[in-house]
Amino acid sequence: MAHTPIVLFPHTHVESRLLEHLIDTFGSLTLCQPWFTEPTVLSDRVQKGGLKVSFPPEALKPKEDFNRLLSEYQGWMMENQGRNRPTTFTTGETGDATWTIRKAIRDAEKDADDPALQNTLKWHLVLHLARNLEEERVSAQDLLQRAAKSKSPLAEAMEKDEEIPDMFEDLPLSATYPYVTDRHLGLIFDAWFGLFGSLIESDSELLTLDRQVFAYALDLFDSYDVQLLGEISPLEEKEVAAPGFSVNRKTFPRLLNPSASTDSVLRALSGKTLILVER
């Protein structure tokens, strides 16, 4: 039986050891990455066919000096951190210091008739910022895990029979986007489907490592008018041997009249299967 295509969603970055484990467990995977992304570290997996890396269509490649704009925006975020200004995924919509990005986005919208071309710069900024958050989370997780396993610096100062407090015992090691609101997730979903939706095969399944992503997608359909939804197709249960993973699958109902919905994300998820994988 042909292998069902599985696409990582909405991740554009996965830590290399985890990605290796996912490929070994689920077979070949597709990782979608926006333009101007550093090459994946698993080049041998790409060559062997275990990992497919997809980029948006060439027409959706920003024409602006994207790396410069991204660098300027990241600098603005660092300078304004803690000043009661939004620091993630605002795409230059607020604050005088972001005039360069606002102007670039307005110019892109003005020079293109196609809505996808109008939004491509904004979508790339959103996904690059989301990728930065994931990379920072991985670094923080690794640091916390190493600290939790190391000997307490208080050990030598304590009496032999005295209990040493574990500062990391109750600290949750979250595998989700840090401090991302539903509004931000909406921007990420919109950007991901905007750039990669046309590349996704109709029978492909989406795989997320983030419970918040899974819950947000479920809520989209829970809040939709049930009279406009079709029946959920019976899902053929596929036993997946996933040592070290917890797997949860959900197939979304199809919209009876997709063109009647103004929600592009809802249309993109219609009839799709989303797999939540947690460690």
At 41 the pLDDT is 58
Q: Structural domain boundaries of the chain?
A: 6-278
| 167-181 pLDDT per residue, tens | 445 444 444 454 578
Low-confidence residues in the chain, pLDDT < 70: 1-2, 40-42, 47, 64, 77-116, 137-179, 224-241
Q: What is the pLDDT of residue 225?
A: 63
Q: What is the pLDDT of residue 69?
A: 81
| Omega within 30 of 0 (cis) for the link into 56 | no
- Please state, as a whole number, how many other Cβ atoms lie within 10 Å of the Cβ of residue 211: 14
- Strand segments, DSSP code E, in 158-245 are 205-208
Residues paired with 207 in a beta bridge: 8, 275
The pLDDT score that the predictor gives to residue 217 is: 93
Decide: residue 217, CB within 10 A, 0-12 exposed, 13-18 middle, 19+ buried. buried
Q: What pLDDT was estimated at residue 30?
A: 94
pTM score: 0.76
What confidence tens digit (pLDDT) does each residue in 258-269 have? Answer: 777 788 999 999
pLDDT of residue 105: 63
Q: What is the pLDDT of residues 85-130, one digit of tens each?
A: 444 444 444 454 455 666 666 665 565 556 667 788 889 989 998 8
Amino acid at 35: W
Which contacts qualify for 89-93: CB closer than 8 Å, 24 or more apart? Answer: 89/126, 89/129, 89/130, 89/184, 89/187, 89/188, 91/122, 91/125, 91/126, 91/187, 92/125
CA–CA separation, 49 vs 129, rounded Å? 28
**Per-residue pLDDT at 221:** 83
Number of C-beta neighbours around residue 262 at 10 A: 7
120 contacts 191 by C-beta, under 8 angstroms? no
Burial 96-107 (b: 16+ CB within 10 A, else e): ebbeebeebbee
Q: Return the residue matching tokens 């994931």.
A: 134
